[in-house]
Amino acid sequence: MSKEKEFDNKTSSGRKISRRNAIKYAGVTAGGALVTYLGMKYYTGQNDSTATMPLANEADANLITYQNKTNMKVLLLNGSPHKKGCTYTALSEVGVALEQNGIESKLSWLGMESISGCRGCGSCRSTGKCIIEDNVNVLLEKVNTYDGFVFGSPVHYAGASGFITPFLDRLFYAGGSRFAGKPGAAIVSCRRAGSTAALEQLNKYITISNMPLVSSQYWNMVHGNTPDEVRRDLEGMQTMRALGQNMAWIVKCIAAGKAAGIEPPTYEQRTATNFIR
Ligand SMILES: Cc1cc2nc3c(=O)[nH]c(=O)nc-3n(C[C@H](O)[C@H](O)[C@H](O)COP(=O)(O)O)c2cc1C
């Protein structure tokens, strides 16, 4: 049987299907392959040699640096142990939409070295940096160079990963006030469930820091165990693109507001009551 003939009546798993469904299947497969090809072309066309560097090795830890048309930049932080896995795939889609809307983005991978949790020593209160010298401090010094942030994580046991959780704990404990006024979003990738809990967890850093929370047309999640499965989650990928569009829009609106003399709020001295007074 010729290859074409074989493809005519079987899926790749060998399951027999009707001629009509075979035509449908062929169309979907070809469409998926095109999307995959275009996506891969996009990734590999960029500065991929620095693709996997964690923040400390900055030159500048970027997987992808998209064209800069507005001088504004959004950091896409990948908290997955997989440097080019599902979370990367979703964040890249956000990056493409940002780029299409004139906003540069930098996709940084936290790496696979274990990241220390917050010691709760409080030294950051006086020093403005974390006592543990690692990428948290590297990023803390660069917060001002970004106009927006997207935190991405795979779902691990219905929560964010063991990489991004301690990283963001320490980043925000030491320098949460530096993020005020900068729009933020979180995205998660999961095989099946726990996505809303993980998303909620990541959104907490944003919503305690006077950061405008940027949303999409659905909750910011993709489904899949592999990048290819994620690319086939058409709704998830569309959600990522809409998030990128919204992020670009908000970033530009904030810049336009500033240019028109609309200053960010001056906040009151913070009161912490600890529920005992
Ligand atoms: C330790 C661990 C725990 C996981 N827990 C969940 C889970 O609770 N729910 C789920 O749907 N997927 C779970 N998964 C699957 C991943 O979330 C999923 O494959 C994700 O898309 C991987 O993204 P990545 O390639 O960026 O790492 C888990 C994977 C690992 C390694």
Question: With b meaning 16 or more CB within 10 Å and e meaning fewer, what string describes 237-273?
Answer: bbbbbbbbbbbbebbbebeeeeeeeeeeeeeeeeeee
86 CA → ligand 1 middle, Å: 9
Whole-angstrom distance, CA of residue 105 vs CA of residue 62? 9
Asked if residue 217 belongs to a domain, the reply is yes
Q: Structure pTM?
A: 0.80
The protein residue whose alpha carbon is closest to atom 18 in ligand 1 is 190
Whole-angstrom distance, CA of residue 149 vs CA of residue 76? 6
Asked if residue 269 belongs to a domain, the reply is no
Q: Is 16 in the pocket of ligand 1 (CB under 6 A)?
A: no
Asked if residue 188 belongs to a domain, the reply is yes
Nearest one of 63, 59, 70 to 88, comparing CA atoms:
63
Asked if residue 10 belongs to a domain, the reply is yes
Residues 105 and 187 in one domain: yes
Nearest one of 156, 243, 236, 252 to 197, comparing CA atoms:
156
Segment 41-67 shows an average pLDDT of: 38
pLDDT at 59 over 50: no
Segment 220-232 shows an average pLDDT of: 98
Residues 93 and 120 in one domain: yes
Q: Is 211 in the pocket of ligand 1 (CB under 6 A)?
A: no
Residues 55 and 83 in one domain: yes
State the average pLDDT for the chain.
82
- State the pLDDT confidence band at 62, using cuts at 50, 70 and 90: very low
User: Which of the 8 DSSP states describes residue 45?
Assistant: T
Express as a percent the part of the chain with pLDDT over 70.
75
258 CA → ligand 1 middle, Å: 40
pLDDT at 12 over 50: no
152 CA → ligand 1 middle, Å: 12
Distances, alpha carbon 275 to alpha carbons 173, 207, 271, in Å = 20, 20, 11
Asked if residue 274 belongs to a domain, the reply is no
Please classify residue 147 by burial: count the beta carbons closer than 10 Å to its beta carbon, then call 0-12 exposed, 13-18 middle and 19+ buried.
buried
Asked if residue 167 belongs to a domain, the reply is yes
Residues 79 and 147 in one domain: yes
Asked if residue 273 belongs to a domain, the reply is no
Q: Is 225 in the pocket of ligand 1 (CB under 6 A)?
A: yes
208-218 pLDDT, tens digit per residue, is 999 999 999 99
Domain range for 108: 49-259
Residues 59 and 173 in one domain: yes
Number of domains the chain contains = 2
CATH code of the domain in which 177 resides: 3.40.50.360
Residues 25 and 157 in one domain: no
| Sequence-separated (6 or more) residues with CB below 8 Å from residue 111 | 52, 54, 55, 83, 135, 163
